[in-house]
Amino acid sequence: MTAARPVRVHKFGGTSVATADRIRRVVQLVQAEPETARRVVVVSALGGVTDQLLGCIDAALARTGAHRTTIEALRQRHQEVLEALVLPEERTALEAQLNAHWQALTELLDGLYLLRECTPRTRDAIISFGERLSAPLVAAAFRAAGSEAIALEATELIRTDDTFGEANVDFATTNRLIRERFAAIPEDQIVVVTGFIGSTPEGVTTTLGRSGSDYTATILGAALDAELVVIWTDVDGVMSADPRLVPEAFVLPHLSYREAAEMAYFGAKVLHPRTMEPLQAKGIPLRIRNTLNPAAPGTLITAEAPPPPWYVRAVTAIRDVAVLMLEGSGMLGAPGLTGRAFQALAEHKINVLLVSQASSEQSLCLGVRAADAETALDVLRRTFAFELETGRIRRIYLVPECATVSVVGDRMRHQPGLAGRMFSALGQANVNVLAIAQGAAETNISAVIAQRDAQRAVQALHETFILRTMRAHLFLIGTGVIGGTLLDMLARQIPQLKEEEGLELRLAGLATAERMLWQPAGTPWNEARERLRAEGEPMDLDRLVQLLTTERPRRLVVVDATASEEVARRYPDLLMAGVAVVTPNKRANTLSYEFYRRLREIARERRVPYRYETTVGAGLPVIATLQDLLLAGDSVRRIEGVFSGTLAYLFNQMAEGVPFSEAVRAARAAGYTEPDPRDDLSGEDVARKLLILAREAGLPVERSDVEVQPLVPDELREVPLEEFLARLGEQDAYWRERVEEARREGRRLHYIGRIEDGRLAVGVQAIGPDSPFYNLQGTDNLIAFTTAYYCRTPLVVRGPGAGPEVTAAGIVSDLRRALEQMR
């Protein structure tokens, strides 16, 4: 006795067998499969036929007479296919077989026409003809192409109950019938089986409901212990998300049965969850393949699938959902209430997609299809009329135009933090969540959101969980020395960030004091300034803040590279709207202490990044160092330092004999000074830095608490900038003398700030060689923290404290940290 051949079941849907050409293709595809396997082919009706048969039923009931015309058109279509495909010697017999079907069909429809009534049983009988007509044609096409093939009607194989329209399979009998029938057929014969249909023990035809032909294929596969069931379709496989919503979605090579079922439940039109059931017990694999691209491997579905890189396999969405809300304190501890709601909806054949109930039991939230929403509302209001009247249920209402989004994956089980990632990704995408549901199986988490947010939500989740990339947006205010350098630096880094770290940072626009450009979809980094000039509109800060806060793209960071108080005052609006702020601008943190406190509070409460490391020491980690000390439980005793790159440079240059006015001009040309260099020379810039550090260290101090010794006399500080610069030479002699005087005493001048015992002071000091500040060079800052832990030797941060590159680099570092927080 030879060993039984392994069985492969191939299922082709209506579009795959819509025309003679397509049927030929089906024949080729199956013939290309290994002949060592027994080949079973399940077919649907020719594309569109089932719907036309349903149309015939309606036409007959409405007595339009159109059913006859449609039947004739269908007959002709099948006849054309027959003539194109079938061997001449088989034609007469096959025509006779099909004619018997057409006659039976016409009689049934005429009967409806007369009776004006169609029972579910008659409906099943009528629509079963689609498959009963297609299978013999496909089998004949195989024979014409040289393969041995026969057609079988599944009515003799699949035994069901009499739930017409969606009959339940009696697997014990069905398996026996299939095995017996196939045992009588030579194994090298291709067997073409009608999909979708079965019959009751009395021999009455039934149908298996939606995706019934897929089900037929898996029922046959299981009964015959198949090695594989192939569902041929017109897509390359199951995708990681709906490609219409997510262009980056890709075909998933491997899924588990459970994942495929979850995806089907949650909106992906993959396979009906029921389809996998017959295969599961035996672990028979199922593969989805594309008839139009048979070389593609498709998607393999098995009991276990190799895990995805990061827990989640796919993201799905159901659109056109409505949410029914039942609210009221009387719902607490009323056990039957939820049951009654479901029962009432079920009686009206309303399917509940999602359920969520807070443990306070004060509200129940049910997701239903939008088409069912009004009926569902009416049903619930009638069901709970008494409770509504007595106030046990306060109100029942509808939230229309919703969608559900879900993440699906077997590996999601027992993974703490996944739900958190999901909701923070939605939050970052500015998507509000109306309701949440997660089954105890933990293989999917769903959220109900507004329909208009669906695409944004699915993209955000796909990006977070599947692509593991991150798209973020930057809006730059200020394109001067620092902003301009930052733009150039980022333009260079962007390709690498994307390639190596999966970070796609887009420039959503930029603004200066004169113009603004809002391009949330992204503007090219290296053309940004030109675009601003060419396409920008006049700067309007109110409008800009409005755009940034209400129309913000996902993960938006505003970099404020101005020195403007007006801009700084808008940070609360930005942070409140979830827009991160990264800034080298010292203004915000040096307005009133109350303002500073509020900014930090909003940032903390909203969990939105607010970063300003470059406001002290430019790119040096000064604020981070202080924050780390405090985090470690340290307490600050003294902070002392040279905090100005410009002034360090100035004194170093003067020590070399360069006149004061010339050194200031050189500092300005090198981009060390503030936009208004009077801020440096008045000591104001250092006073601000000291104020920021004092506040960071916990002191609720104001600007007026800082004692400041200016470098230029009051009368010079008051004059316009041009005049100020022109008259700087007037100070040269004074400073030459002071530098000389210090040198004679073996000392050097530096501008030093100090916080100690709650006192803040900045001013010029003559320091000796024993001071750590004595050897500072160029624009070097040196900040020494004397603390409880660092009391004998202070912790020192030293390095260039001003300049476009170091500052821009510090901003990039803050930006990256902010984006990390926004993942």
Determine whether 433 is exposed, middle or buried from the number of CB atoms within 10 Å of its CB (0-12, 13-18, 19+). middle
Query: By C-beta, is 12 or 672 nearer to ligand NAD?
Result: 672
Q: How far is the CB of 809 from ligand HSE (least distance, A)?
A: 13
Which residue, 141, 139, 105, 130, is CA-closest to 21? 141
Which phi and psi angles does 670 have, rounded to 5°? -80, -5
Identified binder of ligand HSE from the candidate list 16, 446, 673, 731, rule CB under 6 A: 673
The binder of 457, among ligand NAD, ligand HSE, none, by C-beta within 5 to 8 A per type, is none
Check: CB of residue 455 under 8 Å from CB of residue 778: no
Q: Classify 352 as helix, strand or coil.
A: strand
Nearer to ligand NAD, 328 or 645 (CB): 645
Alpha-helical (H) ranges within 479-592 are: 481-501, 528-535, 541-550, 565-568, 571-576, 587-590
Min separation Cβ 465 and ligand NAD, Å: 37
Distance CA 160, CA 512 (A): 74
| In the complex, least distance from residue 632 CB atom to ligand HSE, rounded to whole angstroms | 26
646 binds, among ligand NAD, ligand HSE, none (CB under 5 to 8 A by kind): ligand HSE
Binder of ligand HSE out of 393, 618, 808, 815 (CB under 6 A): 618
Rounded distance between C-alpha atoms, residue 662 and residue 679, angstroms: 17
Task: Name the residue number minimizing CB distance to ligand HSE.
Answer: 646
Q: Decide: is 780 part of the binding site for ligand HSE (CB under 6 A).
A: no
Contact 315, 456 (CB under 8 A): no
- Using the minimum distance from each CB to ligand NAD, give the nearer residue, 525 or 672: 672
Nearest Cα neighbor of 602 from 565, 574, 631 is 574
Contact (CB, 8 A) for 435 and 448: yes
Closer to ligand HSE by Cβ: residue 262 or 674: 674
The answer to whether 672 contacts ligand HSE (rule: CB under 6 A) is yes
Number of residues that bind ligand HSE (CB under 6 A): 11
d(CA 398, CA 366): 10
130 binds ligand HSE (CB under 6 A): no
Nearest-approach distance from CB 474 to ligand HSE, in angstroms: 21
> What CA–CA distance (Å, rounded) separates 86 from 71?
21
Q: Which residues contact 176 (CB under 8 A, 6 or more apart)?
A: none
Residue appearing with tokens 């300049």: 803
For the bound state, the minimum distance from the C-beta of residue 671 to ligand HSE, rounded and expressed in Å, comes to 9
What is the per-residue binding string for ligand HSE in 642-671, x denoting contact by CB under 6 A? --xxx-------------------------
Window of 236-244, 465-473, 672-680, 707-715 that interacts with ligand HSE by CB under 6 A: 672-680
Residue 680 interacts with, from ligand HSE, ligand NAD, none (CB under 5-8 Å by kind): ligand HSE
> For residues 4 and 6, what is the distance between their CA atoms, to the nearest angstrom?
6
Q: How far is the CB of 586 from ligand HSE (least distance, A)?
A: 7
Print the binding letters for residues 537-566 with ligand HSE: x by CB under 6 A, - otherwise: ------------------------------
Residue 707 CB, shortest distance to ligand HSE, in Å, is: 19
Q: Which does 564 bind (CB under 5 to 8 A by kind): ligand HSE, ligand NAD, none?
A: ligand NAD
Q: Which candidate, 374, 317, 367, 371, places its Cα nearest to that of 342?
A: 367
DSSP string, 757-775: TTEEEEEEEEE-TTSTTTT
Residue 51 or 566 with smaller CB distance to ligand NAD: 566
Does the footprint of ligand HSE cover residue 237 (CB under 6 A)? no
299 binds, among ligand NAD, ligand HSE, none (CB under 5 to 8 A by kind): none
- Which segment (237-245, 298-306, 673-681, 722-730) binds ligand HSE by CB under 6 A? 673-681
**Sole binder of ligand HSE in the list 372, 387, 685, 696 (CB under 6 A):** 685
Neighbours of 790 (CB within 10 A): 16
The number of beta carbons lying within 10 Å of the beta carbon of residue 66 is 14
For ligand HSE, give the closer residue by CB, 192 or 618.
618
Min. distance of Cβ 695 from ligand NAD in angstroms? 17
Residue among 284 and 563 whose Cβ is closer to ligand HSE: 563
761: which 2 tokens? 């002071």
Work out whether 680 is an interface residue with ligand HSE (CB under 6 A): yes
Q: Terminus-to-terminus CA distance in the chain, angstroms? A: 63
Q: Does 762 bind ligand HSE (CB under 6 A)?
A: no
Residue 130, contacted partner among ligand NAD, ligand HSE, none, CB below 5-8 A by kind: none
Strand-pairing partners, residue 560, are: 477
CB of 589 to ligand NAD, least distance (A): 11
Choose between 60 and 511: whose C-beta lies nearer to ligand NAD.
511
Active site residue 689: yes
Q: At its nearest, how many Å lie between ligand NAD and the CB of residue 571? A: 13
Which entry of ligand NAD, ligand HSE, none binds 284, CB below 5 to 8 A by partner kind?
Answer: none
Cα gap 58→607, rounded to integer Å: 58
Q: Which does 368 bind (CB under 5 to 8 A by kind): ligand HSE, ligand NAD, none?
A: none
Closer residue to ligand NAD (CB): 564 or 765 = 564
Alpha helices in 312-412 (DSSP H): 336-347, 370-383, 385-390
Half-sphere exposure of 676 (CA within 13 A, CB side): 17
Whole-angstrom Cα distance, residue 315 to residue 463?
10
- The candidate with the shortest Cα–Cα distance to 159, out of 172, 141, 143, 140, is 172
Please report how many Cα atoms fall inside a 13 Å half-sphere around the Cα of residue 266, on the Cβ side. Answer: 31
Per rule CB under 6 A, is residue 331 in the interface with ligand HSE?
Answer: no
The residue among 16 and 807 lying less far from ligand NAD, judged by its C-beta, is 807
Element (H, E) at 20: helix 20-31
Which CB sits closer to ligand HSE, 151 or 808? 808
Round to whole Å and give the CA distance between 201 and 177: 12
Which residues are within 8 A (CB) of 84 and not within 5 positions of it... i.e. 6 or more apart? 20
β partners of residue 38: 7
Q: In the complex with ligand NAD, which residue's Cβ is closer, 686 or 739?
A: 686
> Which spans of this chain sit near ligand NAD (rule: CB under 6 A)?
477-483, 511-513, 539, 561-564, 566-567, 584-586, 614, 618, 645, 671-672, 674-675, 802-803, 807
Out of ligand NAD, ligand HSE, none, what residue 644 binds, judged by CB under 5 to 8 A for its kind, is: ligand HSE
444 lies in the binding site for ligand HSE (CB under 6 A): no
Residue placing its CB nearer to ligand NAD in the complex, 381 or 531: 531
Asked if 392 and 328 touch (Cβ cutoff 8 Å), the reply is yes
337 binds, among ligand NAD, ligand HSE, none (CB under 5 to 8 A by kind): none
State in angstroms the smallest separation of the CB of 566 from ligand NAD.
5
Cα–Cα separations (whole angstroms), residue 241 to 49, 248, 405, 429, 444:
30, 9, 11, 17, 14
Q: Catalytic one among 349, 498, 586, 689?
A: 689
802 binds ligand HSE (CB under 6 A): yes
Q: Is 801 in the site for ligand HSE (CB under 6 A)?
A: yes
- 480 three-state secondary structure: coil
Considering the rule CB under 6 A, would residue 674 count as an interface residue with ligand HSE?
A: yes
Between CA 92 and CA 77 the distance in angstroms is 17
The residue ranges that bind ligand HSE (CB under 6 A) are 618, 644-646, 672-674, 680, 685, 801-802
Give me the active site residues, please: 689
